[in-house]
Structures are given as C-alpha cells and as structure tokens.
Amino acid sequence: MPKLFHNGSSIVILLNMFKQLKKRIQTIESYLWGVKIQTYQSILNGKLELWLINNHKVLNSAHANQSFDSMHRIFQKVFRETAIENRTINNVLLLGLGCGSIPTILFEELHLNCSITAVDHDKMMLQIAQEHFDIQRFKKLTIIIDDALKYVDDCTSHFELIIVDLFYDDQVPEQFLETTFIEKVSSLLNSNGLLIFNMITQTKLQKEKFEELHKYFAHADVIKANGSNSIIVHQKQ
C-alpha cells in the first residue's frame, strides 16, 4: 500500500508539472502569435473568437476587436483626452457592453465612483463576459439584455456620461444612426453631460455615415484612434 500511494502521488506531481509547463508554453505563444482559446457563434455578431494575446484574454469578431485589445486602447485614449477622471460623473449609460472593456477602464483604471447601466442585446456576449472576464465583479454595474433602441425609447433616467459603442461585428446598425435615436439619446444627458459615439471609419461608406452623424453634432470634437476609429465627443450645453 505505501508503494502504491507513493506512485499515485508521483503521478499527481507529474500531471501538475505538465499543466504548469503547458501554461508556460501557452503564455510564450500568446506573445508570439496569439493562442485561440475558444470559438462561439452569436446570432447578432456571427463568429466570435476568444484569444490569449500578450497573456491577456481578448474577444474578436470576424472583422473587429470587441473587447480588451484595440477597442480597449481606443477608449483609454478617448477617456484620457476628455479627462473623464476630472469630471463629476455619478451615472453612466453604456450602450454596447461587449465583454466589459469600458467598465474595467472606468472602475479599475480611472477609479470612478459611479454607477453604470450597460445595455447589450447579445446574450452570447454576456455569457463570454461572465465565463472569461469576471464581469460580475463590478457591484455598481447593472447589465440589461435588451435592444438599445427600445431601451433608449423607454428610458426616463438622465446621465452625466453616455457612451454609444453599438456594433454588429464592425458595422453600426442603421437604426442607431437615425436622427430619432440620436435625438432621444441626447435628451438623456444631464446639463454639461458628455456623449461619446464610437464608429469604425475604414471604408468609404463608413466614412460617409460618420460625416452624416457629425453634421448632427456640429460643434462636437472628433477623436481619431487606432487608425480605424472616429469618435464623436459632444457636450450638452
């Protein structure tokens, strides 16, 4: 019996060593070419891939990063250039949660003491956020699974900061570029509140749509980020 127990212990030790070695190899590979961890199928966003990049999990759709890679850096830049941490922000409306890049920046990087209401229509995105990004750790984050158009239409609350980050893959659905939606979203801002609207502007059509949106916010600032995104920053007077 003692000999058998010893052999069993040795096997456990070897298995643990193998797991640690495998993890170290995966970490090295993540810095070299990335490691694809899992693939999901979303009704709204199509194929979603979870990758390990530079030892951090990121989520990509077919043509865009959805969370924690280039998208994360884009909003780091936007919040830095708008000096968000110096503003008085109690309530935030986030239209398009993804896997939680924006709450992570606001809560953990900028240490804002605010409440965030996040609206996302993609149940698969929330599932990934819960399983791989521990989105539930944010106690002041309320997640609502709903169509942003319907939510905004029914909403009676007001916010100091509204962020529109609504994409299906790399496209902003047409309904979120309509004047009625933009007017309603703007009406939910408090006085001096800030509206941040993110768009990918790589193709000619995307650029044309952005210019149409910018016409509505004639005096808004525009932040260019990552060589692919244009972000409107509008402050309500």
Tens digits of residue pLDDT in 100-127 = 999 999 999 999 999 999 999 999 999 9
Q: State pLDDT tens for residues 165-194.
A: 999 999 999 999 999 999 999 999 999 999
- pLDDT for residue 19 is more than 90: no
Our measurement of the distance from residue 171's CA atom to the centroid of its chain's CA atoms, rounded to an integer in Å, reads 15
| Per-residue pLDDT at 1 | 47
For domain 64-235, the CATH architecture is: 3-Layer(aba) Sandwich (3.40)
- Biggest alpha carbon–alpha carbon distance for the chain: 82
Sequence ranges of the domains in the chain:
2-52, 64-235
* 47-60 confidence digits (pLDDT tens): 999 999 999 999 99
Question: How far apart (Å, rounded) are the C-alpha atoms in residues 76 and 99?
Answer: 16
**Spatial distance between the Cα atoms of 168 and 166, rounded to a whole number of angstroms:** 7
pLDDT higher than 60, residue 5? no
In tens, the pLDDT along 37-84 reads 999 999 999 999 999 999 999 999 999 999 999 999 999 999 999 999
